[in-house]
Structure 1
């Protein structure tokens, strides 16, 4: 299994620009290694940290919305940080504006939590204006603060006038300022100043400059389709056409979607790009995951890469040790490559509890932040996934470099 993983990674060469990009990991990977429980994996990573003087970009490390642990997601600054941390692939979630221009946002209707729109005159264009939280006489919250602002209500010029912020909102807010000032304590606003929003075309140009490959995700529209004559097929095609117009070869693009119909559209109409198309799994719990037969059907239909959330790939053996899940084994047996999401998305692992969505079923065994490398080792060496999304790519880049993954 380990040899298969190494061979897969070695089959994905980096461009000359990527090979020349200086990687700056910062202190976090080394902090996590020292936080690990004693054992062979810790010793191996400690030895790497003590002797390695240079780190290189790796396709195993994928910047999830850039480097969203500390930078506003889908901003120029977040993308640049991800590349500097060694991410060989960086993500732009793709949605569209009122004038049907493609832009980078995690959702078409998240501007109220990811930008400063509510503090600008463009708040008047929000489909649901800000409403303050309501409390009863005892101070109990009876109606949370709310808003909804969509890219489809703005022209691309209006979109570009906004600033990205850390994705968060305060449900107890009585004012817009309180609603916007809600970044979790384990994230930071230290780097949230510029927050430069990007169109897809601008992101592609930046990725080419940084020497990274691209994983655009076709996001589900919040509006009914077709939108002013713009169909779902038009949308799927336009995302691919943006890369073609910029001269990006299909081998540098990992087009993603949560909808199999979009993958099959690319299989039928853009077969070269479909070779690396990624079918994201929307399962919210293990019972939602596809069966072995369904995974085989995916492959028969032309899907080549599946991307489930972390919990789909992790299980515990009789001794309570992390091991590959049945889903992981079934996907490999079906001839599918695997990418997973998203490391360092759900906050610190320190303390009790099930660690929420990403670690359901195994979270009670993860009691320190250094356990991230236990998770990574099962994904990387035992399963042999093709790549891993992370909100802080340096963590994954360090592991890939130390394990000799290219």
Structure 2
């Protein structure tokens, strides 16, 4: 079986044939996915929503259930980079499809342009997510930079004006895993954060429910070192759009700590401390702070997070680890510990493909086949999590609906 995938990878449109040994399991999974797909088609046809979705929380949501040490009654679907399982990520088309499939939040990763405009890209390097390499006029922009202490070669968003970026088109980042998404290569522009906010407001009106935004500030220290800090641009965008208030349907997230602590003095929307599976926040590394992400999820670390943030976003193996064979084991105490501190818990990232599933939930040896994602959701929802980051919003909404109706 394939090894369990990590955050940086992604997935295709539908299941393919598995091996003979897995035909029965694959057939069962296809039936489940067909239900979710039909549900999604109904959503698209009527511009309605799945029963699992409702208006998003306000900044007081941390006290809604977490302060009681309980799971929120309304479990949220965060569309990870949009409907990344169906469209090239971080495009307006991906965000809109995710919302129409039932997502409560659309989640852009934010970087900046040369002229100080926030845009949505997975990384500051844009060579893997756009057709920039096909533009001879930008050939001399290719370079190597140190991103969080590691060399990265390519084209970087901060070396282009917004007008220049708008001449590029998005492409599927992992075509070998999501070949069906490649039919959309070259069709969609790079989206600005303002365009994403405008889209969320339009969709909220059309769908008759709040569609929130859940931006991540990417590599804050990297941009600060270039005198292109993301945080002032974000605060300005929230202020200009009337979103810097406690009842706005917005979460702001980061893998670093110091920028969230500073933002907690400037914004009234809830903040989310992201926690990777290993390593340390890069601002800790730069400042010589010896603490790691392991330290952040101890009771003491969670208490500190609660002093500046409303939620924690852990990599999902911190909630249910896997054994040496990649099979799910018993849950940790992280969800209960976080709830004890009044923190909401939104783990990442749930994807349907074998590559990203525990070994015991995979359907075949093909990493691109869909596995038993519903079983994974059931295990994680039972731990009391308050929401999920998902590449397939329709499947997430169906899993939550089933769980809540038990």
TM-score normalised by length of structure 2: 0.69
- The aligned residue for residue 206 of structure 1 is 199
Tell me the distance in 1 between the aligned counterparts of 2:322 and 2:157: 42
Q: Do 1:69 and 1:187's aligned partners in 2 also have CA atoms closer than 8 Å? A: no
Q: Does residue 73 of the first structure (1) align with residue 68 of the second (2)?
A: no
* Alignment match, 1:310: 316
Structure 1 stretches of 4+ moved >4 Å? 221-224, 285-288
Q: Provide the C-alpha distance between the structure 1 equivalents of 2:142 and 2:222, rounded to a whole number of angstroms.
A: 11
* Post-superposition CA distance 1:43-70 (Å, at most 9, x none): xx99x98xx9972445511111111122
Aligned mates of 2:141, 2:179 — CA distance in 1: 29
Which residue is equivalent to 2:235?
Answer: 240
CA–CA distance in 2 between the matches of 1:74 and 1:155? 18
After TM superposition, give the deviation of residue 91 of structure 1 in Å.
0.7
Q: How does 1:226-305 map to 2 (within 5 A)?
A: 226-228=225-227, 230=228, 232=229, 235-248=230-243, 249-250=245-246, 251-270=248-267, 272-273=268-269, 276-284=270-278, 289-290=294-295, 291-305=297-311
Contact kept, 8 Å, 1:299 with 1:335, in 2: the verdict is no
Q: Is the 8 A contact 1:35 1:370 kept in 2?
A: no
How much is the aligned-residue C-alpha RMSD, in angstroms?
Answer: 3.5
Q: Deviations over 1:319-362 (max 9, x none)?
A: x7654223334323333211011111xx622xxxxx5xx66xxx
1:154 matched residue in structure 2: 160
Write out aligned runs for 1:345-360 (5 A).
348-349=353-354, 355=355
Paired residues of 1:183 and 1:189 also in contact (CA < 8 A): no
Match of 2:116 among 100, 122, 125: 100
Separation of aligned partners in 1, 2:255 and 2:221: 14
1:73 shift after superposition? 0.8
User: Which is worse superposed, 307-316 or 278-287?
Assistant: 278-287
Q: 2:334 aligned to 317, 327, 331, which one? A: 327
Q: CA deviation at 1:240?
A: 2.7
- Counterpart in 1 of 2:378? 377
1:207-254 Cα deviation digits (max 9, x unpaired): 1111210001111158563535x4x3xx21321321231223543101
State the partner residue of 1:391: 391
Q: Say if 2:143 is the partner of 1:128.
A: yes
The answer for unaligned runs of 5 or more in structure 1 is: 1-25, 130-145, 169-181, 350-354
Distance in 2 between the 1:118 and 1:332 partners? 46
Q: Is this contact kept in 2: 1:314–1:325, CA < 8 A? A: yes
Alignment of 1:115-194 (within 5 A): 115-128=130-143, 147-168=153-174, 182-184=175-177, 188-194=181-187
Q: Give me the whole-angstrom Cα distance separating, in 2, the residues matched to 1:183 and 1:301.
A: 42
Give the structure 2 partner of residue 55 of structure 1: 50
Specify whether residues 36 and 166 from structure 1 end up closer, same or farther in structure 2 by C-alpha distance, changes over 3 A only: closer
Deviation at 1:379, TM superposition (A): 2.0
Q: 1:189: Cα distance to partner?
A: 1.2
Q: Secondary structure at the match of 2:237?
A: helix
Give the 3 Å change call, closer, same or farther, for CA 300–339 of structure 1 in structure 2: closer
The aligned runs of 1:6-25 (5 Å cut-off) are none
Aligned length: 318
Cα deviation, residue 301, structure 1: 2.6
Q: Distance in 2 between matches of 1:330 and 1:155?
A: 45
Rg larger in 1 or in 2? 1
C-alpha distance in 2, partners of 1:384/1:391? 20
Q: Which runs of 5+ in 2 are unaligned?
A: 1-12, 16-24, 44-48, 57-75, 145-151, 205-210, 281-291, 364-369
**Cα distance change on mapping 1:238 and 1:123 into 2, 3 Å:** same
Residues 1:367 and 2:372 aligned together: no
Alignment deviations for residues 104-156 of structure 1 (CA, whole Å, 9 cap, x no partner): 111112x1000000101343242329xxxxxxxxxxxxxxxx95110111001
